[in-house]
Amino acid sequence: MLSPKQMSRLLIIASKDRMQNVIQELYSHRVFHIRDFVEENHGLSIGSPLPTAGEASSRLVKVRSLESTFGIRTDEMKASKRRSVRELKSIVDRDLNPLQEEVEALLAKKAAMEAELKDQEQRIRDLAPFTLSPLRLEDYRGYESLAVFMGRIGRDVAIAGPHEKVYTPSKDGNFIAVFVPVQAASETQKELERAGFTPIPVPEGVGQPKELMEQSSRRISELKAEMARMEERLVRLREERAEFIAACHELLEMEVEQAEAPLRFATTQEAFIVEGWVPVEEVDRLKSGLSLATDGKAYVQEIHDGEHVPAPVEYDNPAFARPTELLIDTYSRPRYEEIDPTLIVSIIFPIFFGLILGDVGYGILLLAVSLGLRKLLPSGDGRKLLDTMRNGAVSSIFFGILFSEFFGYGFDKFGIPWEPLLYSRHLNIGAEASHEGGHSGPMITELLMMAIWIGILQITLGRLLSAVNHYRHHGIRGVIPQFGWISVMWGILFMLWSMYALPLMPDLTGLAVVAMGLNFAGLLGLILIVAGAIAIFTESALELIEIPTIISHTLSYARLVAVGLSSVAIAMVVNYIAIGMLIGPQLEQLSIMGIVFIVMGVLVLVIGHLMNTALGVVGGGLQSLRLQYVEFFTKFYKGGGVKYNPFGKIRRFTED
Amino acid sequence: MAVENLTGLSVEMIEASQMGMTALAAAIAVGSTGIASAFAEYGIGSAAVGATAENKDVFGLVLLLTVIPETIVIFGLVVALLMLF
């Protein structure tokens, strides 16, 4: 529960001709976390891949290229049936290459068509200016004694000397074609340039530009139809073959992983050695499986030496705590020998979230959102996050009832005689300030003290957990400084209690003064502080500098109240503006303008509360997470464990 | 009465003015700590975005680092709340 799954370290030794059997067996069990062999000078060398590796890899590349062509994402696909490996293998041998060739041919053809489509479109653009003139394309070229100018021009020009001219005004630019004797060419060109002439080359081909353009348009529509057919063919292929491709992917990936496994083994001339970790409860099954697969020709040994090899870490939590593993992984996975805080956080985190966002309305909204989105996300981190949010939402509803809050209103506003069971967070804002019901206003001091108490308890818990961690590592010597920290914290508390009467805290000011102007509690506090400081000193003198963090970390828990109050304040302000100022007064005397105001009021209400919900999730989530990470974890948790990654694959499309 | 004669203010006026001062003080407490938090988060935030662009795995960690200065404004808010209520 509070520690990761127990692992056994296994050593497997067998002769090389059994390698494939061993690999297959390990792979099918999917429990063995291989410790990669690192070549050192032990006379051992890294193994070489099985002979099937090359073929499988090149096929896998093909499958992946098919996947990217079709936009298939195997991890998001649902398998309708499982195919047997034997059958699939023969289908792969037969079908994979033709399929890939077909798809490649289709793609090549499509690319060629796309190129032609572009060419035809360009031709239409090139021909467009010439459709303005009645001349055929061949009329513009092939002269020896004539110079031809054609292009766009700003205005019509008068040309001196013998010439022939076609001028067509147009919105997109006037078209001009001028035929002059070669001798007059340069002069004519100057003339034209003065009028803003830009030449256009004559497109290739013969005939009427208009007809040519129509030809091209016809070709374009043909091409488009053809491409659509091809696209359809690809879509059909995708539909027919997607699952086959996914199954191929799985099969080939399995083959490649198995074939390349020897790269993680140590080998000699004749034998190989694999080292790794197996969850304790799986050891016997794996052992018997291996002996069956190799006819008892594999030597399997559990190792219990003192060598410090960090075991991989697999969480071992009850189902309700599992979503929280995401939050722990975000910080860092626990190390094997340290306390796994997932369970603790999975209980405390929703409570903090609820304390901050405690509002029945927002809670229901979040619950609906998290349950609704849950259907869209079948698995993975997103779902874990949603489950965490769901837990937070439930806790929010619970605390909402305790705080008597519904979208910022007290329950009494809806005629339900329900006063906050916990301290009231109702602020005196706007109309609420003169609330005739006699709200006493928020009980800020009590709320803050409650938050501080939560902080004191959680920090103490953190230090106790740290004591356990240190005890495992360093024995009783490691425990002393941890109790030193606890002692200093409670010493400070005792001194405070002896001097000031604080709400929700024991009042010890009345005790008789014993010495140094301190009463018994004060003296006890002083002794605790000094003893604690000495205990901390035994670990490291530098740690003493950290003592003020006791106070700052404890006060940091005030955010549980402060962030929550700000969210209440926003909700109440939104209600006040929307209902109190915009909707309420208009409802009393309905008018046209009034309806506009009411619509505006509803908008303010909806947008305001949605925004506040989002802020509440961010505020409630991040702030309470931060309290775990910064204030709680720094006391005892280091993390940095290796993730348990068993050799094998979760199969979804294939079976043996 | 003496106060009234000296300053020309009634007790109620003085009380109201004190309440106003408290509100102002609370505003300064929240406002200035808010600016301080924002300033601190500005640096961390931009570095965090840069780091996330390099390596997505650090997102959780940098998100956390970014909210650490939030404590400043929370202390301000707590002080303001204590002043007001």
Domain residue ranges of chain A, discontinuous segments joined by +: 127-213, 319-422+566-636, 447-556
pLDDT per residue as tens digits for the range A356-372: 988 888 999 999 998 88
| A641 has pLDDT over 60 | yes
C-beta atoms surrounding B69 within 10 Å: 20
> Cβ–Cβ of B67/A622 closer than 8 Å?
yes
Closest residue in A to B85 (Cα) is: A444
Cβ neighbours of residue A472 under 8 Å, at least 6 residues apart?
A337, A338
> Cβ–Cβ of A562/B68 closer than 8 Å?
no
How far apart (Å, rounded) are the C-alpha atoms in residues A548 and A556?
12
Q: How confident is the model at residue A531 (pLDDT cuts 50, 70, 90)?
A: very high
Closest CB to B74: pick one of A444, A559, A629. Answer: A559
| Overall average pLDDT of the A346-353 stretch | 92
Written as six digits, the tokens of A317 are 């939590």
Q: Which residue has the higher pLDDT, B31 or A414?
A: B31
> Cβ–Cβ of B70/A556 closer than 8 Å?
no
How far apart (Å, rounded) are the C-alpha atoms in residues A137 and A213?
12
What would the CATH number be for the domain defined by A127-213?
3.30.70
How far apart (Å, rounded) are the C-alpha atoms in residues B61 and A327?
11
Q: What is the DSSP letter of A311?
A: P
How far apart (Å, rounded) are the C-alpha atoms in residues A281 and A302?
13
- Tell whether B60 lies on the interface with A, counting CB pairs under 8 A: yes
Closest residue in A to B81 (Cα) is: A444
Written as six digits, the tokens of A187 are 């002069």
| A303 has pLDDT over 80 | yes
Residue type at position A272: F
- Tell whether B27 lies on the interface with A, counting CB pairs under 8 A: no
Q: How confident is the model at residue A428 (pLDDT cuts 50, 70, 90)?
A: low
| Overall average pLDDT of the A313-342 stretch | 86
- Tell whether B21 lies on the interface with A, counting CB pairs under 8 A: no
| A434 has pLDDT over 50 | no
Q: How confident is the model at residue B7 (pLDDT cuts 50, 70, 90)?
A: low
| Overall average pLDDT of the A86-114 stretch | 87
pLDDT cut 90: percent of chain B above it: 33
- The pLDDT of residue A429 is 60
Would you mind telling me the total number of residues written for chain A in this entry?
A: 656
> Cβ–Cβ of B82/A566 closer than 8 Å?
no
> Cβ–Cβ of A444/B60 closer than 8 Å?
no
> Cβ–Cβ of A623/B85 closer than 8 Å?
no
Q: How confident is the model at residue A295 (pLDDT cuts 50, 70, 90)?
A: confident
Residue type at position A277: W
- The pLDDT of residue A115 is 94
Q: How confident is the model at residue A220 (pLDDT cuts 50, 70, 90)?
A: very high
> Cβ–Cβ of A556/B63 closer than 8 Å?
no
Closest residue in A to B74 (Cα) is: A559
* CA distance between the termini of chain A: 34
Q: In chain B, which residues have their Cβ closer than 8 Å to the Cβ of A330? A: 59-61
Q: How confident is the model at residue A435 (pLDDT cuts 50, 70, 90)?
A: very low
Q: In chain B, which residues have their Cβ closer than 8 Å to the Cβ of A552? A: 71
Q: How confident is the model at residue B6 (pLDDT cuts 50, 70, 90)?
A: low
Cβ neighbours of residue A176 under 8 Å, at least 6 residues apart?
A149, A150, A151, A152, A153, A156, A157, A165, A166, A167, A168, A192, A197
Task: Give the phi and the psi of residue A528 in degrees, each rounded to 5.
Answer: -60, -40
Written as six digits, the tokens of A79 are 């398998």
Counting one residue from chain A and one from chain B, the pairs whose CB atoms sit within 8 A come to: 49
| Overall average pLDDT of the A545-551 stretch | 85
Q: In chain A, which residues have their Cβ closer than 8 Å to the Cβ of B78? A: 448, 555, 558, 561-562
| A118 has pLDDT over 90 | yes
Answer yes or no: are the C-beta atoms of A480 and A533 closer than 8 Å. Answer: no
Q: In chain A, which residues have their Cβ closer than 8 Å to the Cβ of B63? A: 622
pLDDT cut 70: percent of chain A above it: 97
- The pLDDT of residue A430 is 54
How far apart (Å, rounded) are the C-alpha atoms in residues A628 and A594?
49
| A13 has pLDDT over 80 | yes
- Mean of the per-residue pLDDT values of chain A: 85
The residues facing A46 across adjacent strands are A266
Answer yes or no: are the C-beta atoms of A584 and A441 closer than 8 Å. Answer: no
* CA distance between the termini of chain B: 29
| A348 has pLDDT over 90 | yes
| A514 has pLDDT over 80 | no
How far apart (Å, rounded) are the C-alpha atoms in residues A627 and A263?
44
Give kind and range of the element (H or E) at residue A147.
strand A146-153
CA distance B12 to chain A (A): 19
Mutation to test the A interface, candidates B33, B55, B68, B78, most A Cβ within 10 Å: B78
How far apart (Å, rounded) are the C-alpha atoms in residues A245 and A239?
10
How far apart (Å, rounded) are the C-alpha atoms in residues A14 and A252?
26
Q: How confident is the model at residue A498 (pLDDT cuts 50, 70, 90)?
A: confident
- Tell whether B23 lies on the interface with A, counting CB pairs under 8 A: no
Nearest to A464 by CA among A344, A580, A377: A344
| B33 has pLDDT over 90 | yes
> Cβ–Cβ of A563/B67 closer than 8 Å?
no
- Tell whether B67 lies on the interface with A, counting CB pairs under 8 A: yes
| A349 has pLDDT over 70 | yes
> Cβ–Cβ of A563/B64 closer than 8 Å?
no
pLDDT per residue as tens digits for the range A396-408: 999 988 888 888 8
Give me the architecture of the B2-84 domain, per CATH.
Up-down Bundle (1.20)
How far apart (Å, rounded) are the C-alpha atoms in residues A245 and A507?
73
CA torsion through residues A406, A409, A413, A417, sign: positive
pLDDT per residue as tens digits for the range A368-384: 998 888 888 777 788 88
Closest residue in B to A623 (Cα) is: B67
- The pLDDT of residue A440 is 59
The residues facing A178 across adjacent strands are A149, A165
Residue type at position A397: I
